[in-house]
Chains A and B, each alone.
Chain A
């Protein structure tokens, strides 16, 4: 029982981290109907910026306080991501208004390769350590209740909490503010949104900024776990099943999808793995997503698409 719960909790926390990456996909898809292939590259780019700024800022300013340096590095990296969003809107999206979805997808693939190159050219291509001061040692809880208790990885727990706060904040922003309403309006119908005077350009910059910040948070957390390296860019592919499962248009879907995939991966690895010889974790998510597609093509929370014929 204790072991099961431990696996479950581990899965939930890992799932929260997938959700973070999935969130970036959902934000951009919702507002512009673009499947942003570059989300992974954005995670890498943001993490690289963060890692380097964390190193540079103490050198430049002589700041020694680690928390202050981390916060400053985060702000600097966030600023870089927003500038990036603005540049992408200016140079790419603006010229592709009203183009086919496939055209936009191809554009984001281009952005993806460009960002990977730019990131490594600007910030260097070696593996960087990123220490954002998260506790590394696991703690033991419930050792009175179960034999052996449950071992919780504090780093994962903090990461999950940060993700939860970010997601709650974003949901509130979307539901409660005028700009959030404009974002939802653009997501629903470009033309109608323009007809009430909502500027697509401004909305897109905002959305890409927010997706950039989400990428930064994801890159920061994953980077502090795994080290900031090129493989962060491919992490996004692991979040793909999450998006399929949760639905491309739903923020809560990204969360629930992430949790389902995280838990599914861990449980299957532990309980199903021995039966088929292990290595399940790598493909399980995709199979789960595939099965899901057969039943609900729009995902758990996605909007069902009904076309008038």
Chain B
């Protein structure tokens, strides 16, 4: 494992030493305040607050069942928290559904691949351009000039993403038949196609082998670097997260038990206890 993570580690520390000081990180883009979420009697999240700054890679980590995915689903509008508020670029929202959240520039990937299985890689990623499409249904039905030109323009953007993710060879393949690691890339590609300001990644490396994990780390860092996209990612693999993220939130049993740079969090006794247990 440690050997496997060397490469991304090298990239990250490289970036820190060279570009780090003047670094891109800007003002707060996402501000989560006092979020509590319960399903019936089960408390999934209790009083969680943290913020995400522009251009940073922010990780949410924690053992299984810590509430990581619930947190992401709150930001994404899938769940409506009972208490607290979420502000996106200073705009507080309470009851936004996922579609509205998407329209305000937030894209996400899914832990258990939620690709459109019957469709090709190209079509899957093209769905990510949905909000950029302006032609109406009648124009599309007759393939009128505007609609055809638009389709071609969107297609060019998508081809760029396919190149970026190095899946050119699979363009026309139905995603259902592709290897798992590549499906994860398509999932990422679909989110990227939205040109999001904020990208939410739900366990982007779950179930991957070492090589696939390295590739994924590289893509995440490149997205952050080249497009300046702010990234919130969930992982329960500590090693990966510590290497690529700028700041880390640690959850355990739905509560926040740590927040800070990987360096600080790694040394936090609470975090160590949550992951390894404490002697009694």
Contact = CB atoms under 8 A, between A and B. Distances in A.
Contact of A178 (B110, B151, B193): B151
A-B pairs with lowest CB-CB distance, top 5: A197-B102, A192-B114, A188-B116, A177-B140, A194-B98
Interface string A70-93: 000000000000000000000000
A111 to B, nearest CB: 24
A182 interface: yes
Given A196-B102, A199-B99, 5 more contacts: A188-B117, A191-B98, A191-B110, A195-B76, A196-B127
Contacts of A197: 99, 102-103, 130-131, 194
A188 B143 CA distance: 24
Interface string A149-181: 000000000000000000000000100111111
23 contacts: A173-B141, A177-B137, A177-B140, A177-B141, A178-B147, A178-B151, A179-B141, A184-B123, A185-B119, A185-B127, A188-B115, A188-B116, A188-B118, A191-B98, A192-B110, A192-B190, A194-B102, A195-B107, A195-B191, A196-B130, A196-B190, A197-B130, A303-B117
- Interface size class on chain B is 35 or more
Interface residues of A, number: 25
Interface of A: 173, 176-182, 184-185, 188-189, 191-200, 206, 303, 308
Interface of B: 76, 78, 97-99, 102-103, 107-108, 110, 112, 114-119, 123, 126-128, 130-131, 133, 135, 137, 140-141, 143, 147, 150-151, 154, 190-191, 193-194
A184 B98 contact: no
Please report whether the interface of chain A is mostly helix, strand, loop or mixed according to DSSP: helix
A265 B81 CA distance: 57
Contacts of B141: 173, 177, 179
Contacts of A196: 102, 107, 127-128, 130-131, 190-191, 193-194
B276 to A, nearest CB: 30
B127 A198 contact: yes
B116 A184 contact: yes
B173 to A, nearest CB: 16
Contacts of B133: 178
B146 to A, nearest CB: 12
A286 to B, nearest CB: 29
Given A173-B141, A197-B194, A178 B119 contact: no
Nearest to B127: A185
A206 B141 CA distance: 12
Contacts of A192: 110, 114-116, 190
